Amino acid sequence: MAQEETFTVRYLVACGKHTRDGFMEGFEYFEQAPASLCEPHVDGQPGPDPDATGVFITSIIDRHHEEILRSRAWQCVTCGKPAKELLHSTIPILSPNAERATADFRPTILDNSAPICISGGACDRNAQEVVQEYAKSVLIENQKQTIDTSNTCDTCGKKSGVKLCRGCKLIA
């Protein structure tokens, strides 16, 4: 079986306390993504397979999670205890709109990551809310530079009610 062509994807991580007064550290990695996840798409048609995109993103997170967690003595963004986990909230910007893509488009995965003391508890839930609000505010501030403003879902092609999904964490 022939191996699929790949594209270089930037994986940008902002790790820390996602508030105006919080400390955040940036990490940048370059990964190879299957071309099928980065192919341009058109309005009204679904973008790349969301399941394949999710598997790809999870593999990248897994590859860099420990390095980021061990890069410093992080403290839980909620309670201040030593962090033992990282909460990851990603926004894939992999597949440009064929009609509006600029020549300098680079497939990118943005990861707003927050150190937490334990997964699944109150600190995790609070950190998730803070990270989601931060991601929305950054997207709104940089909307014209970072994402397609057509209000079209890249997953299903829907044109109304498009918003940042709290369930899958994708622009949907």
CA distances from 169 to 12, 47, 132, 139 (A): 16, 16, 8, 13
What percent of the chain has pLDDT above 90?
Answer: 49
In 3-state terms, what secondary structure has residue 10? Answer: strand
> Residues 26, 72: contact at Cβ < 8 Å?
no
In 3-state terms, what secondary structure has residue 14? Answer: strand
123-158 pLDDT, tens digit per residue, is 999 999 988 888 777 666 655 444 444 455 555 655
24-68 pLDDT, tens digit per residue, is 899 999 999 999 998 888 777 777 888 999 999 999 999 999 999
